[in-house]
Amino acid sequence: MSGLSPASLPEWARHLAKALLSGVVFGVLGYGVGRLAADHFPGLGPDLSALRWGDAVGGIVALGLLVACLGTFVTSFNRPSLGRILKLEGPAGDGEVREVRAQSAILGLSAIIMILPIVLSGVGLPVTASLALIALLLVVHTALNLRLYRSVDELFRRVVIEAGALTFWVGQGVLFLWAAAERLGAAPALTAWDIYVVLMAVYLVVSMIVTVRRGLA
Amino acid sequence: MNNRLKVLRAERNWSQADLADALGVSRQTVNALETGRYDPSLPLAFKIAKVLEQPIESIFSE
């Protein structure tokens, strides 16, 4: 009998299996804790009844970005482990650690920017102030991204370009199908926020696949 | 595209870091090139040939 042991699976499949398993385990755990908290302390948390499905997707994407940020930041303190993850001969050097921490900072800022419109819409801050804060963070985020892009070599740039192209290809396909259904009266209208969070969710998944395929993780 | 990068590097007793420094790329890029996960741009391919002192066609093949 040909057993399908973890060792016989390709590396990307093992990563995917681990991610799915972690998602299921922590998803169930999180739901259980949330359910218990809601049952025992009603009214403790914020009122989530005003949240739409786009907010839920945005929250999940922000959480994914935050987990990636913390994961990369913590791993950057263990050079042998970081070296293995980056598939290097030996431990990671100063340059690699610096680069990973820069990526971690960008991921963290991405998570904040992603969740901020949802949070700010519920705290009663003036719209102008909220927009100004979001715009300011976006400028900082863009500057950090550009700085990182200029500091890396052609492989990293290729990954960024491929992830962008693939996201556009998948995103326009999904958007076209929805737009067609909407035009035919078979689907509800989307808001700019809905489209944006779906696009970011697609980008997150696509960039992970491209990164693994190119051997960067 | 296939390449003999790993063999040529081993013949020179170079580490991935040595080759990466000579080419001005990251160690991850050298690893991705050696494992065939990434085909270099034309400028990088020429640089590889220059650093290894080999004609391009003796390093890369279809």
pLDDT digit string, tens, across residues A44-96: 665 666 778 899 999 999 999 999 999 999 999 999 999 998 888 889 999 89
Q: Show which of A126, A152, A178 is a domain's final residue.
A: A152
**Does B41 contact chain A (CB < 8 Å)?**
yes
Residue A5 binned pLDDT confidence (cut-offs 50, 70, 90): very low
Q: Does residue A142 sit in the same domain as residue A160?
A: no
Q: Are residues A120 and A173 in the same domain?
A: no
Q: How far is it, in rounded angstroms, from Cα A154 to Cα A169?
A: 22
Q: What is the mean pLDDT of residues B1-29?
A: 94
By mean pLDDT, which of A21-30, A107-116, B6-15 is the weakest?
A: A21-30
The Cα–Cα gap between A198 and A58 comes to 8
List the structure tokens of A65: 């970005």
Give, to the nearest 10 degrees, the angle between helix A11-40 and helix A192-213. Answer: 140
Summarize pLDDT for A112-148 with one digit per residue, the tens.
999 999 999 888 889 999 999 999 999 999 999 999 9
Contact in structure between A83 and A90 (CB atoms under 8 Å): yes
Write the residue in A99, A153, A214 that is nearest to B25 by C-beta: A153
Q: Is A26 a domain residue?
A: no
A73 and A105 part of one domain: yes
Q: Are the Cβ atoms of B37 and A214 closer than 8 angstroms?
A: yes
Angle subtended by helix axes A154-183 and B27-34, to nearest 10: 80
Asked if the Cβ–Cβ distance from A96 to B17 is below 8 Å, we say no
Q: Do A190 and A106 fall into the same domain?
A: no
- Residue at B60 is within a domain: no
- Determine, yes or no, domain membership for B59: no
Residues A123 and A214 in one domain: no
Contact A82, A96 (CB under 8 A): yes
Q: Are residues A60 and A143 in the same domain?
A: yes
Token pair, residue B62, equals 């279809």
- pLDDT for position A1: 43
Closest residue in A to B37 (Cα) is A214
For the stretch A150-209, pLDDT in tens is 999 999 999 999 999 999 999 999 999 999 999 999 999 999 999 999 999 999 999 999
Q: Please answer whether residues A104 and A148 qualify as being in contact, where contact means their C-beta atoms are separated by less than 8 angstroms.
A: no
DSSP string, A109-162: HHHHHHHHHHHHTTTT--HHHHHHHHHHHHHHHHHHHHHHHHHS-HHHHHHHHH
Chain A residues close to B29, C-beta within 8 Å? 153-156
Range of the domain at A82: 51-152
Range of the domain at B19: 2-52
Q: Same domain, yes or no, for A135 and A161?
A: no
Report helix, strand or coil for B61. strand
- Listed residue (B38, B24, B45) closest to A159, CA to CA: B38
The answer to whether residues B4 and B59 touch, using CB atoms and an 8 Å cutoff, is yes
Contacts of B32 in chain A (CB under 8 A): 155, 214-216
What's the gap in Å between the CA of A179 and the closest CA on chain B? 36
On whether residue B62 sits in a domain, the answer given is: no
Among A51, A54, A56, A99, CA closest to A75: A99
Specify the CATH number for the domain of residue B30.
Answer: 1.10.260.40
pLDDT tens profile B27-42: 999 999 999 999 999 9
Q: Does B13 touch chain A (CB under 8 A)?
A: no
Report yes or no: B38 at the A interface, CB cutoff 8 Å: yes
Secondary structure class of B52 (helix, strand, coil) = helix
